[in-house]
Amino acid sequence: MPKRPLSKRLQRLLNAQRSSRKRRRPASRRESTTVMEYQGLPVKVRRQKRRSLMMRRTYHAIEVFIPHWLHKDHNDVRAFIEEGLAKLDDLPPLPQREEITTPDELRAMVREWAVRMGVQPKRITLRAMTRKWGSCSSRDNVTLNTALCYVPRRLAEYVIVHELAHLIELNHGPKFKALMDAYLPDWREREKEINTYPV
Ligand SMILES: [Zn+2]
């Protein structure tokens, strides 16, 4: 059957759809992070609006920045990471395996503290966050930054108690501070200490 030209109405509809898709895309594609493991090291791969590949070392992980159009598993990305890792040899060592808290251990800590504090988080989510160590939603969902796996455990514990305390008290007022004093008397020190680590 010969192709019939699209009706004007259909053409307009399709165009409108296409352009709305285009408009929506930048927000959701602005930045996405995947955490991979390379030769036993955590490597965060971030897809961003950029043209070239870049690698940097933070105190607990390697961060690789790649353009949106490249996939993290692409050969060029792998080669770039391997070359970069070889050059990192002379930098101070990353945390040893035994100093790392696994995501499962973090979740177990949340559950233990939840029992101790008499709270019930609905969901515990672990994900790479760029600006915060953790957060707590008004719906009682607790989110923790996977970077907590690489800070001393007592500091991760502080973040957990802090977020769980928000299930009782939403703001940071006197009632919140009293809760922190009760459950973690040295929380102020821990808070100062974790703030010396880049998120
Ligand atoms: Zn808070």
Q: Distance from the CA of 62 to the center of ligand 1, in angstroms?
A: 27
What separation in Å is there between the alpha carbon of 44 and the centre of ligand 1? 25
What distance in angstroms lies between residue 46's CA and the mean position of ligand 1's atoms?
27
Mean pLDDT score across all residues of the chain: 81
Measured in angstroms, how far is the CA atom of residue 158 from the centroid of ligand 1? 11
**99 pLDDT tier (thresholds 50, 70, 90):** confident
Tell me, in angstroms, the distance from the centre of ligand 1 to residue 111's CA: 19
Query: What distance in angstroms lies between residue 84's CA and the mean position of ligand 1's atoms?
Result: 37
Distance 172 CA to ligand 1 centre (A): 6
Domains of the chain: 8-90 (no CATH), 97-194 (3.30.2010.10)
Q: How many angstroms does the Cα of residue 63 sit away from the middle of ligand 1?
A: 27
Output the CA 136–ligand 1 centroid distance in Å: 8
Q: How far is the CA of 98 from the centre of ligand 1 (A)?
A: 29
Q: Residue 62: which of 94, 98, 90, 99 has the closest Cα? A: 94
pLDDT, position 116: 97
Q: What integer is the mean pLDDT of 129-139? A: 88
pLDDT surpassing 60 at residue 78: yes
Residue 8 has pLDDT above 80, yes or no: no
* 11: pLDDT strictly greater than 60: no
Residue 29 alpha carbon to ligand 1 centre in Å = 28
How many angstroms separate the alpha carbon of residue 64 from the centre of ligand 1? 29
State pLDDT tens for residues 144-195.
999 898 888 999 999 999 999 999 999 999 999 999 999 999 999 999 988 8
Residue 93: the pLDDT is 55
DSSP per-residue codes, the chain: -PPPPPPHHHHHHHHHHHHHHHHHHHHHHSEEEEEEEETTEEEEEEEES-SS-EEEE-SS-EEEEEETTS-TTSHHHHHHHHHHHHHGGGSPPPPPGGGPPPHHHHHHHHHHHHHHHT---SEEEEE--SS-SEEE-TTSEEEEEGGGGGS-HHHHHHHHHHHHHTTT-SSSSHHHHHHHHHH-TTHHHHHHHHTTS--
47-76 pLDDT, tens digit each: 988 888 888 876 667 889 999 888 888 998
- What's the CA-to-centroid distance between 166 and ligand 1, angstroms? 7
The reported pLDDT for the residue numbered 17 is 44
pLDDT of residue 59: 60
Q: Residue 159 Cα, ligand 1 centroid: separation in angstroms?
A: 9
Q: What is the pLDDT of residue 100?
A: 83
